[in-house]
Structure 1
Amino acid sequence: MKESVYKSYEELPLFLNARIVAQVLGIAPSSAYELMHESNFPVLKAGSRMVVPKEKFIQWVERNTGGDS
């Protein structure tokens, strides 16, 4: 597994693209693209571009890990 380059949520930009999602989760970019196409993943579509709002991403992580932090 790849190590995340981000050490806290505060370091994340307001919107995350697939490359950043992959870096944060320590997964391959192709896996991030697949994840971003899942119906329960919080994606904002702007034309053909897909981005993930930082706060929605944090909520998704917490929901899917059972964490509260």
Structure 2
Amino acid sequence: MTRTEKLLPPVLSPADIQKFLGIGENKAYELLASSQFHVARVGRRLFVSRTVFIEWLEGKSEAKEVNRRK
């Protein structure tokens, strides 16, 4: 587990993402609505796996997407 991963809970809420990235609430929800990574919805609440978020942050999710297209 990387140092960054240790700073985050296993499942992230929009508030966790907002705090970690230093962005506003609206931007956090825009990011979650952007389809850049898988978001789980439980009722009206949104959640993202820490692993998926870190891969997106490090650009690893883009590499996977490029490989799928080939």
TM-score, normalising length from structure 2? 0.71
Structure 1 residue 9 displacement after superposition = 2.1
How many percent of aligned residue pairs carry the same amino acid? 34
Deviations 1:18-39 (A, max 9, x none): 1110111110011001110011
SS at match of 2:34: coil
Which structure 1 residue ranges, 4+ long, deviate > 2 Å from structure 2? none
The answer on 1:60 being equivalent to 2:59 is: no
Q: Which has the larger radius of gyration?
A: 2
Cα RMSD for the two superposed structures: 1.9
Could you list the runs of 5+ residues in structure 2 that have no partner in the other structure? 61-70
Unaligned runs of 5+ in 1: 1-6, 65-69
For 1:8 and 1:45, how far apart are their aligned partners in 2?
24
Does residue 32 (structure 1) correspond to residue 25 (structure 2)? The answer is no
The count of residues paired between Structure 1 and Structure 2 equals 59
